[in-house]
Structure 1
């Protein structure tokens, strides 16, 4: 098993090379996006965790013993997400959105134009915030499974991208950062663990 602290340190430098930025983590269902972001929250300790995924995230957070200093907020629509972002403007140094495109995928089935505009506005706000903070957003993937839904917008606004890819049907997978292999991981009861990682 890899030295966890070293892997996380290298990862942080690659996702946030300037000490801030807007990183997008994407992958198919079950690839470990929520486990990854909750594990990051345990290390950041004072993060704001904006949850659009519903109850299972809280169940996992309790299981992983997330510190009480991590603030959780629930969002069920795109305007609630935008409001929450504006409410904490310049007040947080680390913001996690899990996931950034789930509410927009639902809205798009009713009004794709409005959903696209709201999604673009959300990403623009997060990009502006990321000039002075670390923003980490998970993203659900399109039907092809290769790119996130709303990829053009996410690609335009994000400063780095990480893809989680399941290996087989187990709890292991591989991570790529900006298209390059970073490491192998395993999802455990205690969260996201590195099996191996690239050293820099």
Structure 2
């Protein structure tokens, strides 16, 4: 199952490893962190973080950092959700066909779903919004579905790649450790 971590938490990757194959650090019993790939040891006192950033450790023992304003981020998301709902309600006065109304509903649902889960697919959106798969919804409303454009792939396993933060990407496959996305997700907490 693909795993993701909250958008406000980012893995800290080893500076000794190649940028093409980033590797993260795992906590050690001596309170240092060791790179999963090359073994480089890091002391958190050596981290150079921006003033608003704090380091954090996942339940799996991986080192990351977060911007220390999750409350502000949550409030901004709530405002975004409210604005999208308000915008959708403005369209109520239009005389739309059932298919057009469903398309507008799907678009609004896609925005809300993408805000909550940046890795969501169109099928995820239709299941969330209509409780049906994409092919079922398309058939019901007479929509044609274009084939999905090929996106970036993991250089290790060929799986899907998801954006993390600040331009980093990681593999979404639970069986792959490129970017250590698979091991990081379950326990990211501040």
How high is the TM-score relative to the length of structure 1?
A: 0.25
Flag the structure with larger Rg. Answer: 2
**Larger RCO (CA within 8 A; separation ≥ 6):** 1
Please state which structure has a larger fraction of its residues in strand.
1
How high is the TM-score relative to the length of structure 2?
A: 0.26
